[in-house]
Structure 1
């Protein structure tokens, strides 16, 4: 489903099927890296699953899809500029595809927005960053697998270092007035997300 969605997206602006397939292979290679345990194709599938039911609420579905596929294309637990590098790759590829400038610029901004997940004046961006955080509000069994996978991605760090950083990140979410910025995702996930986060903090 992901591959077809990506290739259908590229077909809206490119007739070069060989190049389009190369771009899919690049996406697949990034998200199936052995160093990844959470930022994988499964994460992209979940995003697509969360966003598809509200497609009619989204102003530019194609922008959202480009953002979805590229937002974690560059990822290293040792780096703090993953979003910037991912946005740069998206910008480069979309220019090669002759994607309209407005979509390129909006996609670039949306990818950068996943760094802080702050409220945006752009509703599409809020829908995307909310979907990106939707894992926080899943059932405890799913959430448990999520935080274990995140820990695997930071396996280089000892518990003392990791637990301190993880607690700080989780507590940041709890200090937010709303974790989810859109009414749709707030109603769906806010309450469970706060319970999950608090529970994980207690386990650290």
Structure 2
């Protein structure tokens, strides 16, 4: 849960980003309200404003290698704007929402194209993201995998809540497949800083959750 103070800070940062595109606050506020409503929906246990806040902290740490910080921050805001645990096209629809909401308020089409490309990359299906900002976005999105053990455990539990409609055996099998896919990758993180600081811890967290999923008790359904 994000405190009112943190939400106010996020709102100020949002206005600051859009000022770079000469978007007036009167036009920026309604879009912000739409995004906040999406990320605070009842079914959002992990893919919420806390997740965005953690991503923004990663971007701040990697600021020295970011090429287009404003476009990157907008991509973060929109990357999970559409999130339906039953759907397979959330990234595409999130990109479409960015087009629908950012175009009318004056964000340049070239910037929106860049934002949409980054959003689509968060499907984590490409082997090697080309752009540096895309690499930063993906590392920020996956930073939770390298979190401290307690935070990772809460993340794993929250993901289970978002899939509470899936029977336990099916969830364990599907979640294990996701974890194994990450573990099979040559590296989880693209940027040097994230790789050095989080790669080993991320793999340890993934192996720990996988072992729990494969144990006789596994993860109980909610």
The TM-score bracket by the shorter chain reads over 0.9
Q: For the residues of structure 1 that align with 2:187 and 2:103, how far apart are their CA atoms?
A: 36
Q: Which residue of 1 aligns with 2:119?
A: 111
Residue equivalent to 1:150? 159
In the alignment, what sits opposite 2:200? 191
| Structure 1 residues 114-133: aligned runs within 5 Å | 114-116=122-124, 118=126, 119-133=128-142
- Unaligned stretches of 5+ residues in structure 2: 1-8, 214-222
For 1:14-93, list aligned pairs within 5 A. 14-93=22-101
1:100 aligns with 2:108: yes
Distance of 1:142 and 1:87 partners within structure 2: 29
1:96-150 deviation line (CA, Å, top 9, x unaligned): 1221222111110000000025321111100110110000001110000000000
TM-score of the pair, normalised by structure 2: 0.89
| Segments of 4+ moved more than 3 angstroms | none
Q: For the residues of structure 2 that align with 1:117 and 1:97, how far apart are their CA atoms?
A: 31
2:149 to 125, 128, 140: 140
Instruction: Point out where structure 1 has 5 or more consecutive residues left out of the alignment.
Output: none
Partners of 2:21 and 2:116 in 1: how far apart? 17
The count of corresponding residues between Structure 1 and Structure 2 is 204
Would you say the 8 A contact 1:14–1:20 is kept in 2?
no
> What SS does the aligned partner of 1:96 have?
coil
After TM superposition, the score normalised by the length of structure 1 is 0.97
CA distance in 2, matches of 1:163, 1:78: 16
1:12 maps to what in 2? 20
Q: How far is 1:37 from its partner?
A: 0.2
The superposition leaves residues 76-99 of structure 1 with CA deviations (integer Å, 9 ceiling, x where unpaired) of: 101010000000001122211221
Does 2:179 align with 1:170?
yes
CA displacement, residues 146-192 of structure 1 (integer Å, 9 cap, x when unaligned)? 00000000001110111110000000001000011111110111000
Q: Is the 8 A contact 2:65 2:132 kept in 1?
A: no
| RMSD over equivalenced CA pairs, Å | 1.1
CA distance in 2, matches of 1:56, 1:186: 16
CA contact (8 A) 2:23 2:105 kept: no
